[in-house]
Structure 1
């Protein structure tokens, strides 16, 4: 068998040890946080954020709302999510995003959006919709980029400072 040569790791032994210790702490927190989150919510998965930190993705057992929440494993779970997509099921068999809350540029939004779309597919929900409101206008360019990256159609009315988003399941 042929194995390609691995590039030499430029990290020092001290850096590697520190990285390993951080990972061990995250794994211990992951175990504890999973136990606490699973008491009240359905755990959808464990993922890696942009900074390679472990995160837990979950949803409350609620037939009215369709929230996708995320907690990182950098700290102990205290009953609060670190990022969330708040959505509802509509009468016309769609999911409607009401709000996205949490820090930007950590990869949390992409993780939660992937899980929301997966949930829609599993539940045979053909569309996810949402609105862009005037309150979002200070970061509208970032929102457009985010939604387009996730294959949403984005329709912006720059004069009225409003917009609509729509994702259609291609399965």
Structure 2
């Protein structure tokens, strides 16, 4: 029983030390990130790592990015979702999602993209699934359906389309 308490105390101290380090790094990274882009918020990954959410938006293209609080910001993000606005601003089209899968980064960015659409009264988000995505198409379908997108797949041409409509 004493060893369990000792281990729990040791684990708790390690978690506290890690959190303090992440908070220090968050503060330092926020200063640097805010020079390059607009900070949108702070969120946590599936592994409970703190991420700084930031964006660059020129009115034609919106790039939502994540930077972790474990390493120093060196001008590059750890994950990004790039989308463009339609001419008449009635839709946002997802062009690319870059970064590792399985950490919840895509979900964080998607939630911020949906919030951006709502802020600008844009009711639709669209995107394409290309042949280059075909090796992980099942994972993409799961991801988009989890985020309430309608997914249409054409296995013959190895392509597809996604669409989210805000209700």
Counterparts of 2:30 and 2:84 in 1: how far apart (Å)?
A: 25
- Which secondary structure does the structure 1 equivalent of 2:21 belong to? helix
Task: Indicate the RMSD between aligned Cα atoms, in angstroms.
Answer: 1.5
> Residues of 2 paired with 1:17 and 1:129: CA distance?
46
- Cα 1:10–1:69 change in 2 (3 A) is farther
Aligned equivalent of 1:99 = 96
Q: Does 1:37 align with 2:40?
A: no
Check if 1:12 corresponds to 2:8: yes
Using the TM superposition, give the Cα deviation of residue 61 of structure 1 relative to its aligned residue in structure 2, in angstroms.
4.0
Q: Which structure has the highest helix share of the two?
A: 2
Q: Which runs of 4+ in 1 moved over 6 A?
A: none
Contact 2:26 2:69 in 1 (8 A): yes
Aligned residue pairs: how many?
163
Unaligned runs of 5+ in 1: 1-8
- Indicate how the Cα distance of structure 1 residues 10 and 105 shifts in structure 2: closer, same or farther if over 3 A, else same: farther
Partner of residue 159 from structure 2, selected from 157, 162, 165: 162
Q: TM-score, normalised by structure 2?
A: 0.94
TM-score under structure 1 length normalisation: 0.92
Q: Give the deviation of 1:92 after TM superposition.
A: 3.5
Structure 2, unaligned stretches of length 5 or more? none
